[in-house]
């Protein structure tokens, strides 16, 4: 009993062993061995069975894991396909949506195949060929016009072959769908036409949209002339203001004026404003800057947010030397300048920098003006930054070395092949400011001869050439001729009256000089030039306190203008206040760092202030810069006395 309890306590395996030993103890040796062998065999079979079951189980587990992996991959693939399908559908929908939106924005011009006589079609001049010929001529004209009033979105011939992308199993191309959507939702304008034989030769009629046909007749052997006329008729119907600009560009001013005048009575304020811009184009080509100002003012009144309307007003004021109005128009342009490139395209892309430079120049900030211009590529300098103006700016800045560098590489002819009149005028101005009166007169005569009767350039003579030529004559000693020449200049021209004042000062007519300077100073409250020149005249007269008062006023109008500061310093030196003059010279040098006379006078002031080492440095700087003949003589005198 105790053994049974013990066997239960030790567990089933131990109980089996105990029972086996009991049996062995009761059996014979042979039977015991046989029993053991049998038990060993059973154990082996059990182990083999368990091993096989384990292999099967491992295989089943491996299979299940593999199946699960495949299912996961399958799930990933299915999701990927679904996402890809969704993206394809989204792409198709987006593409169709884009096509629909573009179709609604379509303003294209479509030239359909023309009708032609059968015998001409047999020779190759089919309706499609004729339409393409007209379209080619139309495109040529559109590319060869400078205009900022209107622009074409696109134009094409309906017979043009598209690159076809077939939609599977439909036979319908994307090009077909696009054309259908544009025709349905867009605003395409179709041009049709026919060529017929007449007793006199040929007659070509073109129709722009629903407008009545326009017919051109000509001899049978001059089809090219009819094609040109047909293209012009399409151009005029499609974009009348751009066509007017084309006519102006090609010298057909009366036709251009008639079209623009008629269009100025149509449409909203923005469109009418552009019509006045087109009239302004006519004014420019005629050299009528006063009419340009009138048309520019009308354009601004109709659309004050138009940068190009302000540009017209600025161009007129600049060409007439209405300096205060020029500055106001430049600021008006800059206040709305963000829309310039959108309104005027490539032509207007440089205008913000140009007008910024012009505004700075008007206020005497010559260094700021040339820096603004130099940031523009040379190919885009068309107004205040063109070659002639840039040369003049450097001369006014007293940087004659840089001015001569530009003159050496400046083109003598324009892209159109015409003589670069502006450059010739700029050379005459430059030599005057550099102190070479005789060379200035030679250049002026060359410019006058080159201009001749060219109306486009006549304004250059009145405003930018004659006043400087008159001063050059006066400085060369011919006061009488100078007076006679300047007396012909208009009284509303600021530079002209300032030149009258300078000529009077050269003749020591202080009262006359003050009269002309006073007029310009009063009507240009933000322009420092007249007050600066008035102060210079008073200093020559020996009235240093009065001169300083004018220099102070000029400095208030143009704080970055170096000239009144430098002459203020000279006036202080005449009053034996070299100590005060030093601050004026130092400030002036910030705005005209390459001015030789400035460094020469600065060196003088330093010497008289007892700072001889610093004085020699300034004198050395002056010696390394361009100096006028008079200043070169002063330098030589100084070196002889103090060198």
**Inside any domain, residue 572:** yes
The CATH number given to whatever domain includes residue 142 is 3.40.50
**Inside any domain, residue 629:** yes
pLDDT at 348: 67
The answer on 551 and 435 residing in a single domain is: no
pLDDT at 620: 93
**Inside any domain, residue 298:** no
**Inside any domain, residue 353:** no
**Inside any domain, residue 517:** no
Mean pLDDT of successive 10-residue stretches along the chain, which has 643 residues: 41 47 52 66 65 58 60 65 68 63 59 85 86 86 77 50 38 56 61 86 86 84 89 89 92 95 93 94 91 96 92 93 96 83 62 91 95 81 81 93 89 69 88 92 90 69 89 95 94 96 97 98 97 97 97 97 97 94 96 95 92 92 89 87 77
Domain count, the chain: 4
The answer on 225 and 146 residing in a single domain is: yes
For 133, the domain range is 109-238
**Inside any domain, residue 531:** no
User: Residues 111-114: contacts with CB within 8 Å, 24+ apart?
Assistant: 111/135, 111/138, 111/155, 111/156, 111/157, 111/158, 111/190, 111/191, 111/234, 112/157, 112/158, 112/159, 112/190, 112/191, 112/192, 113/157, 113/158, 113/159, 114/192, 114/193, 114/194, 114/195
**Inside any domain, residue 568:** yes
pLDDT at 170: 47
Neighbours of 206 (CB within 10 A): 25
pLDDT at 442: 94
Q: Which of 2, 231, 22 is nearest to 114 (CA)?
A: 231
The answer on 220 and 167 residing in a single domain is: yes
The answer on 226 and 128 residing in a single domain is: yes
Select from 54, 77, 102 the last residue of a domain: 102
Output the pTM of the full model: 0.75
The answer on 200 and 126 residing in a single domain is: yes
The CATH number given to whatever domain includes residue 561 is 1.25.40.10
**Inside any domain, residue 351:** no
The answer on 138 and 166 residing in a single domain is: yes
Alpha-carbon distance of 248 to 251, in angstroms, equals 5
Select from 195, 221, 238 the last residue of a domain: 238
The answer on 20 and 118 residing in a single domain is: no
The answer on 90 and 132 residing in a single domain is: no
Q: Residue 619: CB partners within 8 Å, gap ≥ 6?
A: 599, 600, 603, 635, 638, 639, 642
pLDDT at 216: 87
The answer on 138 and 219 residing in a single domain is: yes
The answer on 178 and 77 residing in a single domain is: no
The answer on 199 and 113 residing in a single domain is: yes
Select from 82, 102, 122 the last residue of a domain: 102
Alpha-carbon distance of 507 to 537, in angstroms, equals 11
The answer on 123 and 70 residing in a single domain is: no
């Amino acid at each position: 009993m105790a053994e049974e309890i013990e066997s239960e306590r030790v567990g089933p395996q131990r109980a089996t062993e105990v029972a086996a030993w009991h049996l062995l103890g009761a059996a014979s040796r042979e039977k015991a061995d046989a029993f053991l062998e049998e038990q060993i065999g059973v154990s082996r079979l059990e182990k083999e069975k368990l091993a096989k079951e384990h292999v099967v189980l491992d295989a089943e587990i491996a299979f299940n894991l593999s199946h699960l992996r495949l299912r996961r991959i399958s799930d990933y693939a299915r999701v990927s396909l679904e996402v890809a399908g969704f993206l394809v559908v989204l792409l198709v929908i987006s593409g169709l949506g884009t096509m629909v939106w573009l179709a609604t924005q379509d303003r294209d011009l479509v030239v359909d195949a023309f009708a032609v006589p059968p015998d001409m079609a047999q020779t190759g001049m089919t309706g499609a060929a004729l339409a393409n010929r007209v379209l080619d001529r139309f495109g040529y004209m559109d590319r060869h016009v400078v205009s900022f009033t209107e622009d074409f979105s696109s134009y094409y011939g309906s017979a043009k072959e598209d690159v076809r992308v077939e939609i599977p199993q439909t036979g319908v191309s994307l090009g077909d769908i696009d054309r259908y959507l544009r025709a349905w939702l867009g605003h395409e304008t179709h041009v049709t036409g026919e060529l017929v034989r007449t007793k006199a030769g040929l007659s070509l009629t073109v129709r722009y949209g629903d407008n009545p046909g326009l017919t051109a007749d000509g001899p049978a052997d001059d089809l090219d002339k009819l094609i040109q006329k047909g293209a012009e008729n399409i151009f005029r119907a499609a974009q009348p203001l751009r066509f007017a600009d084309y006519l102006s560009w090609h010298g057909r001013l009366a036709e251009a004026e008639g079209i623009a005048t008629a269009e100025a009575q149509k449409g909203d304020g923005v469109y009418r404003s552009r019509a006045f811009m087109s009239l302004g184009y006519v004014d420019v080509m005629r050299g009528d800057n006063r009419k340009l100002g009138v048309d520019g003012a009308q354009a601004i009144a109709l659309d004050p947010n138009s940068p190009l309307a302000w540009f017209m007003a600025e161009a007129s004021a600049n060409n007439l030397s209405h300096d205060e109005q020029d500055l106001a128009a430049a600021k008006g342009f800059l206040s709305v300048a963000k829309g310039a490139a959108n309104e005027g395209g490539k032509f207007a892309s440089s205008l913000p920098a140009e007008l910024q430079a012009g505004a700075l120049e008007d206020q005497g900030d010559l260094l700021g003006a040339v820096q603004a211009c130099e940031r523009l590529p040379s190919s885009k300098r068309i107004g205040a930054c063109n070659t002639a103006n840039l040369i003049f700016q450097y001369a006014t800045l007293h940087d004659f070395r840089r001015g001569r560098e530009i003159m050496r590489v400046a083109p003598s002819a324009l892209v159109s092949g015409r003589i670069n009149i502006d450059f010739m005028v700029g050379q005459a101005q430059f030599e005057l400011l550099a102190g070479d009166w005789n060379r200035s007169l030679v250049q002026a005569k060359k410019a006058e001869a080159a201009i001749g009767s060219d109306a486009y350039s006549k304004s250059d003579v009145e405003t930018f050439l004659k006043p400087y030529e008159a001063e050059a004559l006066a400085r060369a000693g011919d006061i009488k001729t100078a007076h006679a020449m300047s007396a012909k200049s208009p009284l509303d021209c600021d530079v002209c009256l300032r030149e009258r004042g300078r000529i009077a000062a050269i003749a020591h007519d202080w009262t006359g000089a003050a009269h002309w300077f006073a007029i310009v100073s009063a009507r240009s409250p933000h322009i420092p030039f007249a007050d600066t020149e008035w102060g210079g005249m008073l200093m020559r007269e020996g009235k240093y306190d009065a001169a300083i008062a004018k220099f102070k006023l000029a400095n208030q109008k143009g704080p970055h203008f170096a000239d009144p500061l430098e002459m203020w310093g000279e006036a202080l030196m005449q009053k034996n206040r070299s100590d005060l003059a030093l601050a004026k010279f130092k400030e002036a040098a910030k705005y005209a760092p390459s001015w030789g006379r400035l460094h020469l006078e600065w060196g003088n002031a330093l010497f008289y202030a007892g700072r001889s080492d610093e004085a020699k440095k300034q004198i050395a700087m002056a010696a390394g810069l361009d100096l006028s003949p008079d200043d070169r003589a002063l330098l030589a005198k100084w070196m002889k006395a103090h060198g």
